[in-house]
Amino acid sequence: MLNTALILSRSKVLGGFAAVLLAASSFVTTALAVTPEELKAKGTATIGVQMDQFPWGFIDQNGQNDGFDIEIARMIAKELGVDAKFERITGQNRIPLLINGNVDFLVPSMTITEERAKVIQYVIPYSSNDITVWGKTDAAIKGNDDLEKYVIGVNRGSAFEPLLVKVAPPNTKIKRFDDDATTVQALLSGQVDAILGSVTYGLVIKQTGNDAQFERKYKVADNFQGMAVRKGDQEMLDLLTDFVTRHTADGSLDALYKKWIGVDRAKLPTTLPGVDFTGKQ
């Protein structure tokens, strides 16, 4: 028989330990706070970007960083008057790299979620990316209930993974991959029958000449994306919020989105339930 007193005691200890970790995390975040003036004095901004997810961020045929997020990151650095130093991020490491001070801020095409907003500070959305199921053309997938009949791939550590677990029937066979590139490759190579992820996976599928064999099945959810800074980096938050606001108004972000994603940028919200974009709550 379980010792209830022991369980309660351990629960209190673990709860206290979690509180200590949260406090320590807050202290570290404050200690690592960076301001625009500090970046200007240093002459460099270390920016976390993706380097393996076309068209958001990737390495081109000349070995140079390119893509939607890369152009935006360069615009920010130019306005700051500093050099942009790019740090590769993945779904697994982007938040730790930010919190630990390895990067000054993120331009990551990262889904805004309430859970992430508890540990990082989001900027108002600058982009969106419908969450979509892509599959073999002959796979009879029209909705979530059909997923249990097939092997479904997803990028572990991304916002796609918990969503897939939530919407798929309990007995669905799910295979997890390290990043978007290997997730798409798993579909193309036949390791899985379908994948859940970015609507822009279709650009990669078309680019590889496989658009006759694979198709977009259906939209699962909206996906609003935001840049991020550390909690407490109020001046950087204000700067990036102003950047998104100004370049939404002047059409710059719309033009870049059209250039790289191939469709019009949606009208994006400036408030979302459970997410504080002001840094003051």
| pLDDT of 62 | 96
On the question of pLDDT at 18 being above 80, the answer is no
Residue 78: count of CB within 10 angstroms of its CB: 11
Q: Are 162 and 113 in contact (CB under 8 A)?
A: no
Q: Are 32-122+223-261 and 131-221 equal in CATH topology?
A: yes
Mean pLDDT, all residues of the chain: 89
Q: Which residue has the tokens 């206290």?
A: 16
Domain ranges of the chain: 32-122+223-261, 131-221
Q: 113 pLDDT exceeds 70?
A: yes
Percent share of the chain, pLDDT over 70? 88
* Residues 205-234: tens digit of each pLDDT: 998 999 999 999 999 998 999 999 999 999
DSSP the chain: ---HHHHHHHHHHHHHHHHHHHHHHHHHHHHT---HHHHHHHTEEEEEE-SEETTTEEE-TTS-EESHHHHHHHHHHHHHTSEEEEEE--TTTHHHHHHTTSSSEEEEEEEP-HHHHTTSEEPSP-EE--EEEEEETTS---SGGGGGGSEEEEETTSTHHHHHHHHS-TT-EEEEESSHHHHHHHHHTTS-SEEEEETTHHHHHHHTT-TTTEEEEEEEE--EEEEEE-TT-HHHHHHHHHHHHHHHHTSHHHHHHHHHHSSPPPPPPS-BTTB-SSS--
Question: Is the preceding omega at residue 36 within 30 degrees of 0, hence cis?
Answer: no
Q: What is the mean pLDDT of residues 130-137?
A: 96
Angle at the Cα of 217 from the Cα atoms of 268 and 128, rounded to 5 degrees: 15
CATH number of the domain located at residue range(s) 131-221 in this protein: 3.40.190.10
Q: Determine the pLDDT at residue 158.
A: 87
Task: For residues 244 and 279, give the distance between their C-alpha atoms in angstroms, rounded to a whole number.
Answer: 16
- Across residues 66-80, what is the average pLDDT? 98
Q: How confident is the model at residue 32 (pLDDT cuts 50, 70, 90)?
A: low
Query: Residues 134, 214: contact at Cβ < 8 Å?
Result: yes
Residue 278 CA to residue 138 CA, distance in Å, equals 47
pTM: 0.75
- 75 falls in which pLDDT band (50, 70, 90)? very high
Q: Check residue 11 and give its pLDDT.
A: 38
Q: Is the pLDDT of residue 67 over 80?
A: yes
pLDDT at 20 over 80: no
pLDDT band at 53 (very low <50, low <70, confident <90, very high): confident
> What pLDDT, in 10s, does the model give residues 252-281?
999 999 999 988 898 999 999 999 999 987
Angle subtended at Cα 253 by Cα 250 and Cα 257, rounded to the nearest 5 degrees: 140
CATH number of the 32-122+223-261 domain: 3.40.190.10
Token reading at 226: 């935001």
- The answer, yes or no, to whether residue 21 has pLDDT greater than 50, is no
Are 96 and 165 contacting, i.e. CB atoms less than 8 angstroms apart? Answer: no
pLDDT exceeds cutoff 70 at 4: no
pLDDT in tens, 151-169: 999 999 888 999 999 999 9
Q: Is the pLDDT of residue 241 over 50?
A: yes
